[in-house]
């Protein structure tokens, strides 16, 4: 999948989730915005209520999407023969898509009425989605191969380019600009202070400032616009790689801890949902059949 096709693919998945949320909110706004006590008197109550044709359908569809998203991704990770059907990163992205779309549907299935043991499943689902977002952020911080295999520290370091050699061999820069650029792409052995998120945010703004200084230095050396863009892209990649090397061990530890937090909520949600489905069937609730 080319980068352009991949961007279209991701944009399409995001668009489907957003469109679904907006459509469901718009379609049922009158009902969902009515107080729970007064909904019974709404003409469309039997349609939108959790056991109604529309509400019940959302619950069934949302649950199936989550189950498909979870089981398919676990199967892809466990069984090597599935690798012929796509890279692990694409399966992960589809897993995230299904496990985002499913909870949106389940949210509207509840008609924003939370109570009893099912509320535990709902808030577990919220915790799973929230932790999934955090997990995705941690995941992309760890350098990987095209197939999705995690790279070791030595492998990541081998990915670095020799910026010094490229600059001195291809471009005529003054000594001050040359030192400024090399300094900006050097791994900083700084003392780790403050929270991880604070350090990441501060480093983000530091890198933005460094890129501006690099562009300024390149312009002062009368480089062409295309050369400035080429060198800037090279140096941005180098800075990004340096940041990942600095955070690699921290992110690897966080990813292990993340699994410990993510899985229990997912299991709790699954068990209670199965109980909910079983009780629903036992009490004779049916959908369109």
User: DSSP readout, 29-96?
Assistant: HHHHTS-TTTGGGSTTHHHHSTTSHHHHHHHHHHHHHHHHHHHHHHHHHH-GGGGGG--HHHHHHHHH
- Kindly state the tokens that stand for 154: 């030595």
State the first-to-last Cα distance of the chain, in angstroms, to the nearest integer.
41
Q: pLDDT tens digits for 35-50?
A: 888 888 888 888 888 8
Mean pLDDT of all residues belonging to the chain? 78
pLDDT at 162: 67
pLDDT at 32: 87
Q: Are 50 and 30 in contact (CB under 8 A)?
A: no
Q: What is the mean pLDDT of residues 116-141?
A: 77
| pLDDT at residue 269 greater than cutoff 70 | yes
Q: What is the mean pLDDT of residues 84-111?
A: 86
pLDDT at 29: 87
User: Of 220, 237, 242, which Cα lies nearest the Cα of 166?
Assistant: 237
pLDDT at 150: 63
Q: What is the mean pLDDT of residues 117-142?
A: 77
| pLDDT at residue 145 greater than cutoff 60 | no
For the entire predicted model, the pTM comes to 0.65
| pLDDT at residue 191 greater than cutoff 60 | no
Q: pLDDT tens digits for 49-64?
A: 888 888 888 988 988 9
Q: pLDDT tens digits for 10-21?
A: 899 999 999 999
| pLDDT at residue 86 greater than cutoff 60 | yes
The pLDDT > 70 percentage for the chain reads 82
Q: Are 111 and 42 in contact (CB under 8 A)?
A: no
User: Of 93, 94, 197, which Cα lies nearest the Cα of 136?
Assistant: 93
| pLDDT at residue 161 greater than cutoff 90 | no
Other Cβ atoms within 10 Å of 289 Cβ, number: 3
Q: What is the mean pLDDT of residues 231-252?
A: 76
The whole-angstrom distance between residue 263's C-alpha and the CA centroid of its chain comes to 17
> Where are the strands (E) in the chain, listed by range?
none
Q: What is the mean pLDDT of residues 183-207?
A: 68
pLDDT at 114: 73
Q: What is the mean pLDDT of residues 68-85?
A: 83
pLDDT at 45: 85
- Kindly state the tokens that stand for 246: 């600095």
Directed axis angle between helix 88-109 and helix 53-78, to 10°?
160
């Amino acid at each position: 999948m080319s980068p352009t096709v991949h961007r279209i693919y991701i944009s399409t998945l995001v668009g489907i989730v957003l469109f679904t949320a907006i459509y469901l909110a718009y379609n049922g706004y009158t009902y969902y915005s009515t107080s729970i006590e007064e909904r019974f008197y709404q003409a469309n109550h039997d349609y939108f209520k959790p056991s109604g044709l529309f509400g019940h359908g959302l619950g069934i569809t949302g649950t199936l999407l989550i189950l498909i998203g979870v089981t398919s991704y676990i199967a892809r990770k466990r069984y090597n023969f599935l690798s012929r059907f796509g890279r692990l990163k694409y399966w992960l992205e589809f897993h995230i898509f299904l496990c985002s779309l499913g909870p949106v549907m389940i949210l509207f299935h509840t008609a924003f009425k939370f109570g009893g043991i099912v509320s535990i499943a709902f808030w577990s689902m919220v915790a799973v989605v929230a932790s999934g977002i955090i997990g995705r952020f941690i995941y992309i911080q760890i350098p990987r191969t095209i197939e999705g295999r995690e790279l070791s520290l030595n492998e990541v370091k081998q990915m670095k380019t020799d910026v010094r050699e490229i600059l001195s061999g291809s471009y005529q820069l003054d000594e001050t600009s040359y030192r400024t650029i090399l300094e900006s792409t050097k791994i900083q052995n700084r003392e780790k202070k403050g929270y991880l998120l604070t350090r990441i945010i501060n480093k983000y703004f530091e890198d933005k400032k460094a890129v501006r200084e690099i562009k300024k230095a390149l312009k002062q050396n009368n480089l062409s616009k295309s050369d400035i863009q080429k060198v800037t892209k090279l140096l941005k990649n180098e800075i990004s790689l340096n940041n990942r090397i600095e955070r690699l061990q921290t992110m690897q530890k966080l990813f292990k801890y993340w699994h410990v937090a993510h899985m229990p909520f997912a299991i709790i949600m699954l068990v209670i949902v199965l109980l909910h489905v079983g009780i629903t069937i036992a009490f004779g609730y049916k959908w369109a059949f």
